[in-house]
Amino acid sequence: MTSTYFNENGPSSMNIEPPKRVMAIGAHPDDIEFGAGGTIAKWAQQGCEAVIVIMTDGSKGTWNPEADPLELAMRRQGEARRAAGTMAPGAAVEFLGWKDGELRHGERAVAQLCHLIRHYKPDVLIAHDPWKRYRLHPDHRAAGFIATDALVAARDPHFLPELGMHHRPSALLLFEADEANHLETIGELALRAKVEALLCHRSQHESSMEISDAGNLEEVARFRQTVRDAAERNGGADGAEFAEAFHLISEV
Ligand SMILES: [Zn+2]
């Protein structure tokens, strides 16, 4: 069975070697869980350390016009920490503090992230695919370009030498890929960790998960099934049970 996500040849690679340390970079507090939560959980179960970098404060992530942005940002930090711990117990979480909707691809953001890459020295980076076509949300686009530029800056000794010793990760995995070419298969346990991590983002239940109330078990069950179905469709492309799809760049 061929997934609609890949071309007729299906994915060209599957399952890179589990890294010792992964750094995932998302625009908003729940993006990483949606895009790569199962992969991070799988690697964490194999002893990988995770660093979760969230670029904006998520303060506009609500349909409620009366919501207080500062209160929402604080609430979302707590949710993000719980979600990170659910995916990868002991994960480090870094908040870069850009205002939601106002993340800009520029020197300041690239330097912030370059500094974190050199500090944590991850083997693998996970980020938004900045080349995804027809993407509307500016933060997702910006976060992707900031991550790719920061990777280049971090690996080359003559870029930003004041920000520490250069470091070159061995692979970059882009989620929400415009053209996926790689699968990470995930088992039942990692899939469950992904769903539980997503559900930690209670402030997003209504707007991104179609859950009107956490007590509405039917809606929660429907959301679990939606995530499961998506992972099953990706897995079907290569006969695995569940998987997440990426664009892998291994020449970094
Ligand atoms: Zn987002």
CA distance 221 to 215: 11
Say how far apart CA 4 and CA 131 lie, in whole Å: 19
Say what the pLDDT of residue 185 is: 95
pLDDT tens, position by position, 186-245: 999 999 999 999 999 999 998 889 998 878 899 999 999 999 999 999 887 666 789 999
Average pLDDT of 14-18? 96
Q: How many angstroms is it from 32 CA to the middle of ligand 1?
A: 8
18 CA distance to ligand 1 middle (Å)? 26
State in Å: Cα 77 to ligand 1 middle. 14
Bridge partners (DSSP) listed for residue 22? 50, 124
CA of 30 to the centre of ligand 1 (A): 7
Q: How many Å lie between the centroid of ligand 1 and the Cα of residue 241? A: 27
Domains of the chain: 16-249 (3.40.50.10320)
Ligand 1 centre to CA of 61 (Å) is 9
Distance, in Å, from the CA atom of 91 to the CA atom of 26, rounded to the nearest integer, reads 15
Summarised one tens digit per residue, pLDDT across range 139-179 is: 999 999 999 999 999 999 999 999 999 999 999 999 999 99
Distance 158 CA to ligand 1 centre (A): 32
Dihedral sign (CA 185, 191, 195, 197):
negative
Degrees to nearest 5, angle at CA 190 with 214 and 50: 95
The fraction of the chain above a pLDDT of 90, given in percent, is 85
- Comparing 59-63, 73-77, 110-114, 227-231, the range with the smallest average pLDDT is 59-63
* Contact predicate 22/123, CB 8 Å: yes
* Centroid of ligand 1 to alpha carbon of 1 (angstroms): 30
Helix axes 31-45, 69-87, angle to 10 degrees: 20
What mean pLDDT do residues 56-64 have? 92
**Between 133 and 213, residue with greater pLDDT:** 133
Output the CA torsion sign for 156, 161, 163, 166: positive
Nearest Cα neighbor of 147 from 54, 245, 25 is: 25
- Strands lying side by side in the sheet with 171-175: 13-14, 182-186, 242-249, 171-175, 124-128, 21-26, 49-56, 92-98
- d(CA 105, ligand 1 centre) in Å: 15
Distance from the CA of 140 to the center of ligand 1, in angstroms?
6
Neighbours of ion ligand 1 (CB under 5 A): 27-28, 31
